[in-house]
Amino acid sequence: MMDALSQSWLTIALPIAMITGSMLVSKFLKLSLLGTILAACMPLALPFVDLPFSQELTHRNPHYLIGAGWLVLMSLAVGWVVVRPLASSALQNFGLIKCAYVILLAAALAVVGLLLGNPVVLSTYVPGWKGTAGMVLLCASMLSMSLALIRFFRAAVFLAVWSFVSLVLASEIFLGKLPQQVIREDIDKIEDLFPSAKVNAILKKYGVEDDILRVREVLEES
């Protein structure tokens, strides 16, 4: 590997290509020059990483692997330039903390998908993910679960409160008494206000009666 990378033309061509390409990318895509150069240095380490690629390609033609890494980074840079206005708008609308929270939840979903589909990938490429990264993702998912539970209980409380209010108001308006004072005769009066013929006509008008009959037939058959 070192012999292949130590060839005279590679030791000159790679730094020149990296610096020249970084300057061009930084200028045309309006990215930070220092950040672009640092990103361009990353593919230089690919030939020394144990990747599931052909050993012949990695050892005999390491510049191909470096070039492929640069192409991937170039694609990411172009994609970032395209989505940068949307990302800026999202940051303005949601805030940095909320965007980071959404990214953490997406990462947690991705990790769970890998664990269910192919858990070997995480243990192979990110062996220490269960430490800090795993705890951060766990805390984010538990926070989301807690917020969902709070919203659920709040909705349940609202439903109970307003159902009770509606019941009391309906009882007082239609019957002139509170719900605890309602007796069987009062319920019969309510049923008289809505005769079954009128209810059936309304149901038939909206096609609900046929659905009820089908449900009854299914229940009788079962």
Q: Got the DSSP string for 63-101?
A: HHHHHHHHHHHHHHHHHHHHHHHHHHHHHHHH-HHHHHH
pLDDT of residue 83: 75
Handedness of CA 44, 49, 54, 56 (dihedral sign): positive
pLDDT of residue 32: 81
Angle at the Cα of 151 from the Cα atoms of 169 and 94, rounded to 5 degrees: 125
User: Can you tell me the mean pLDDT for 107-136?
Assistant: 84
Q: Which of 56, 58, 73 is nearest to 17 (CA)?
A: 73
Q: What is the pLDDT of residues 27-72, one digit of tens each?
A: 888 788 888 888 888 887 777 666 655 455 555 567 777 788 888 8
pLDDT of residue 31: 80
pLDDT of residue 18: 83
pLDDT of residue 161: 92
Q: What is the pLDDT of residues 165-218, one digit of tens each?
A: 988 888 888 777 877 777 677 666 666 655 555 556 665 665 555 555 565 665
What percent of the chain has pLDDT above 90?
Answer: 7
φ and ψ of 197, to 5 deg: -65, -40
Distances 211 to 194, 208, 216 between C-alpha atoms, Å: 21, 5, 9
pLDDT of residue 197: 54
Provide the mean pLDDT of the chain. Answer: 75
CA 91 and chain centroid, separation: 16
Asked if 47 contacts 58 with a C-beta cutoff of 8 angstroms, the reply is: yes
Round to whole Å and give the CA distance between 18 and 44: 10
Q: Which of 50, 49, 24, 22 is nearest to 36 (CA)?
A: 22
